[in-house]
Amino acid sequence: MPVKLRIPTPLRRLADGAAELNVEGATVTEVLTALEREHPGFRERLYDEQGEIRRFVNIYVAGEDIRFLKGLDTPLKEGDEVSIVPAVAGGA
């Protein structure tokens, strides 16, 4: 099912400058796999050498950090917004 994926500035070059993409997938992993298929290069930016999401990448589904949901297995429903957001922000 299609979900809306929000792309942060540092990764937009990989998506031909798009800030938002419609991507198919029933879970966050499926969406990221589909993203890599359509726009190669995302995977190595989002995952570390161990295959885990990088320490400084946050992923949100409908505004909720997937760490508080089911991680990369978090299920998605049609129209959900998935956001990739750099973790280094805020505070002082």
Partner 1 sequence: MASTLAAALPHGHADGNTKATEDGASAGKRVLGLRCRECRQEYPIEPIHVCDFCFGPLEVRYDYELLARTVTHESIARGPLSIWRYHDLLPVEHLADTGWRVGFTPLQPAPNLGQALGLRDLWIKNDSVNPTFSFKDRVVAVASAKAREFGFDTFACASTGNLASAVAAAGIRVGLKTFVFLPWDTEQSKILNALVYGATLVAVKGTYDDVNRLCSEIADQHRWAFCNINVRPYYSEGSKTLAFETAEQLGWEAPDHVVVPIASGSLLTKIAKGFDELQQIGLIPQKGVRVSGAQATGCNPVAEAFEKGWDAIKPVQRPDTIAKSLAIGNPADGYYVLRIVREREGAVRQATNDEILEGMRLLASTEGVFAETAGGVAVAALQKLAREGIVRPDERVVVYITGNGLKTLDAVAPSLSPPPLVEPTLASFDAFLSQRETRA
Site membership for partner 1, residue 55 (CB under 8 A) = yes
Nearer to partner 1, 26 or 49 (CB): 49
The beta-carbon contacts of 56-63 under 8 Å, at least 24 apart in sequence, are: 56/86, 56/87, 56/88, 57/84, 57/85, 57/86, 57/87, 58/84, 58/85, 58/86, 58/87, 59/28, 59/83, 59/84, 59/85, 60/85, 61/28
Site membership for partner 1, residue 20 (CB under 8 A) = no
Site membership for partner 1, residue 26 (CB under 8 A) = no
Site membership for partner 1, residue 70 (CB under 8 A) = no
Binding test (CB under 8 A) with partner 1, winner from 1, 4, 19, 73: 19
Please work out the total of residues on this chain that contact partner 1, with binding judged by CB under 8 A.
25
Query: Any residues with CB less than 8 A from the CB of 40 and at least 6 apart, and which?
Result: 14
Q: Which residues bind partner 1 (CB under 8 A)?
A: 6, 8-10, 19, 45, 54-58, 60, 63, 65, 67-68, 83, 85-92
